[in-house]
Structure 1
Amino acid sequence: MDTTRGRRRFLSRFAGLAASGGAAVALAGCLDRADDEPAEPEPVVDTADSLEGETDREAWRDVETIRLEGWVGGWVGVEPPAIDRVENPTLVLLEGREYDLTWENRDGIHHNVALWDADRDVVREYTTDGTDVEGATETLTFEAVPSIATYRCEHMQEGQVGDVVVHTP
Structure 2
Amino acid sequence: MQEEQAVNFQPMYGEHQPWFARLFALYLLIVIIVLLQRGVRFIWVLLKLRKRSEQSESAFSELSSRIASSKQLAGLTVLVSILNLSWWIADILLGLETAKAPPNLGYILPEIGYVLTAFNLGIIVSVAALGGSMWAQFALNRRRNAFLNQK
- The normalised TM-score by structure 1 is 0.27
Name the structure where helix makes up a greater proportion of residues. Answer: 2
Name the structure where strand makes up a greater proportion of residues. Answer: 1
- The normalised TM-score by structure 2 is 0.29
Question: Per chain length, whose mean CA-contact separation is higher, i.e. which structure has more relative contact order (CA < 8 Å, sep 6+)?
Answer: 2
Q: Whose Rg is larger?
A: 2
